[in-house]
């Protein structure tokens, strides 16, 4: 992974021990309030409590899949599923997003999809959403193949040959530095969707040695839910782990739930401690793709900005958005750090102030049009059949609703 050993120093009347010392002692550090210190300690404790057990083909399953005739998807270890869900919700908590749940039905669907991909040794170097380039083997029936197409089309996918923890899979999706399509951070957007409520988890090893991971992220019911936050920014507003902010090909991003912005903005990043400002590079607008059911999806690189634990940064996106964050080290010596815990921590970052997102939002108006045009006697009215419209990569192009209604 891309984790780096950096730490945090606090200035003011707080005196923290070794875990919070900066590598560069000559650099000035940001001032962290007692509440921010408490929140940092909370996140460090939460991260430390997450399972670091590594999995491989020998310890991943409760019931190993049978990937030839007669085909069986198998079952994952319950601890693997619960651990991966814990990582998902830990990362969502960093952004002030509510926790999501997983259920047996969705987990089974995700597992069947992962097993199908493993059975055919799906090419890990090309797009596999919808299995567009794969051929159904005879021992997999048509209904199961269609299920795998639909689920892979509406899921985050991750392929890896390394022994990883259940959380490493989610970290890869969050940082999105293995994205085959570049810097769009679509996996991150779905993982951090402000409308996501449930997910499903599946994984299986192919004979090629690849582990095929599936995380269900697009649910029909979620499309009609109000957003839990107006915006999600990466790094998040408030305090944020330095390990997630830096790394090769790790893009930063800004997502807006209900506000549409289709231009390419100018973005600057200012280190408040060094007073140095840099202009972001590789700025791209993926809003037309609708990743995560966001109206605006912008990604960029921090450019020449030096990313230092203990520093505070201000990001300004034209007149569209402005926020600040302070970096802390996610991994630290908790025994020493806990001696300086001064107040109770909150589970989630404070959500940004926002208006009632359910009031005549363009998203809900668009969905109302969809429901108004539904013919309850038509096969299209069945939720499962909606996913037929997601083929050929349409699911990530803001709302397959647009394709159903021919809305431009």
**Helix H or strand E segment including 106:** helix 104-119
DSSP letters of 327-340? EE-SS--HHHHHTT
Of residues 85, 16, 13, the one with CA closest to residue 328: 16
pLDDT in tens, 94-124: 999 999 999 999 999 999 999 999 999 999 9
**Arithmetic mean of pLDDT, 63-69:** 98
Residue 224 has pLDDT above 60, yes or no: yes
Residue 174 has pLDDT above 50, yes or no: yes
Neighbours of 393 (CB within 10 A): 13
pLDDT in tens, 341-390: 333 333 334 333 333 333 333 333 333 333 333 333 334 334 333 344 33
* β-strand pairing of 238-241 with 321-328: parallel
- For 111, the token pair is 């597992």
Q: Provide CB contacts within 8 A for 161, sequence distance 6+.
A: 209, 210, 211
CA distance 52 to 3: 14
Q: For tokens 């912008």, what's the residue?
A: 298
| Whether 73 contacts 65, CB under 8 Å | yes
- pLDDT (0 to 100) of residue 124: 93
Please classify residue 353 by burial: count the beta carbons closer than 10 Å to its beta carbon, then call 0-12 exposed, 13-18 middle and 19+ buried: exposed
3-state SS assignment for residue 58: coil
| Helix ranges, 345-400 (H) | 362-373, 383-386
Residue 397 has pLDDT above 80, yes or no: no
**Arithmetic mean of pLDDT, 46-75:** 97
pLDDT in tens, 121-138: 999 999 999 999 999 999
3-state SS assignment for residue 362: helix
Of residues 307, 336, 324, 238, the one with CA closest to residue 40: 238
Average pLDDT, the chain: 80
CA distance 308 to 292: 29
Every domain of the chain and the residues it spans: 34-332
Report the 3 state secondary structure along 273-310: CCCEEEECEEEEECHHHCHHHCCEEEEEECCCCCCCCC
Residue 395 has pLDDT above 80, yes or no: no
Angular region, 348: left φ>0, alpha ψ -120 to 50, beta rest: beta
CA distance 341 to 42: 9
**Arithmetic mean of pLDDT, 12-38:** 56
Alpha-carbon torsion 220, 226, 229, 231, what sign?
positive
According to CATH, the topology of domain 34-332 is: Pathogenesis-related Protein p14a (3.40.33)
- pLDDT (0 to 100) of residue 332: 75
7-21, 24-38, 259-273, 360-374: the lowest-pLDDT one = 7-21
Residue 21 has pLDDT above 50, yes or no: no
Q: In what order do the strands lie in the sheet with 231-234?
A: 231-234, 252-256, 296-301, 281-285
* β-strand pairing of 296-301 with 252-256: antiparallel
3-state SS assignment for residue 96: coil
Strand partners for 27? none
- pLDDT (0 to 100) of residue 180: 67
Whether the predicted model's global pTM rises above the 0.85 cut: no
**Helix H or strand E segment including 63:** strand 61-63
| Helix ranges, 227-276 (H) | 242-245
190-199, 274-283, 367-376: the lowest-pLDDT one = 367-376
- pLDDT (0 to 100) of residue 248: 83
- pLDDT (0 to 100) of residue 387: 40
């Amino acid at each position: 992974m891309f984790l780096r050993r950096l730490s945090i120093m606090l200035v003011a009347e707080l005196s923290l021990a070794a875990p919070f010392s900066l590598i560069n002692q000559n650099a000035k550090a940001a001032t962290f309030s007692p509440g921010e210190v408490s929140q940092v300690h909370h996140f460090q404790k939460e991260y430390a409590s997450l399972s670091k057990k590594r999995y491989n083909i020998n310890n991943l399953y409760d019931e190993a899949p049978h990937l030839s005739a007669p085909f069986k998807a198998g079952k994952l270890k319950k601890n693997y599923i619960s651990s991966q869900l814990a990582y998902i919700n830990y990362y969502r908590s960093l952004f002030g997003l509510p926790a999501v749940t997983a259920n047996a039905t969705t987990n089974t669907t995700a597992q069947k999809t992962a097993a199908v991909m493993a059975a055919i040794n799906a090419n890990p170097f090309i797009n596999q959403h919808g299995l567009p380039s794969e051929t159904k083997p005879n021992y997999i029936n048509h209904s199961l193949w269609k299920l795998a197409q639909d689920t892979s089309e509406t899921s985050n996918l991750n392929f890896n040959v390394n022994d990883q923890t259940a959380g490493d899979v989610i970290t890869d999706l969050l940082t999105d530095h293995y994205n085959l399509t570049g810097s769009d951070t679509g996996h991150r957007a779905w993982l951090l969707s402000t409308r996501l409520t449930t997910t499903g988890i599946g994984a299986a090893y192919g004979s090629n040695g690849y582990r095929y991971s599936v995380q269900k992220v697009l649910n029909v019911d979620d499309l009609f839910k109000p957003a839990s936050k107006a915006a999600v920014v990466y790094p998040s507003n408030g305090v944020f782990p330095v390990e997630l902010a830096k790394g090769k090909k790790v893009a930063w991003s800004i997502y807006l739930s209900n506000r549409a912005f289709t231009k390419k903005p100018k973005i600057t990043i200012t280190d408040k401690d060094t007073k140095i400002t840099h202009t972001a590079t590789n700025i791209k607008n993926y809003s037309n793709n609708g990743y995560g059911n966001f109206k605006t999806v912008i990604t960029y690189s921090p450019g020449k900005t030096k990313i230092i634990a203990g520093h505070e940064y201000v990001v300004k996106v034209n007149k569209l958005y402005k926020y600040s964050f302070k970096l802390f080290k996610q991994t630290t010596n908790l025994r020493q750090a806990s001696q300086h815990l001064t107040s109770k921590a909150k589970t989630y970052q404070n959500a940004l102030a926002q208006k009632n997102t359910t009031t005549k939002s363009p998203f809900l108006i668009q969905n109302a049009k969809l429901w108004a045009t539904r013919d309850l006697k038509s096969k299209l009215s069945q939720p499962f059949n909606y996913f037929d419209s997601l083929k050929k990569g349409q699911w990530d192009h803001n709302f397959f609703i647009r394709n159903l209604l021919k809305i431009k």
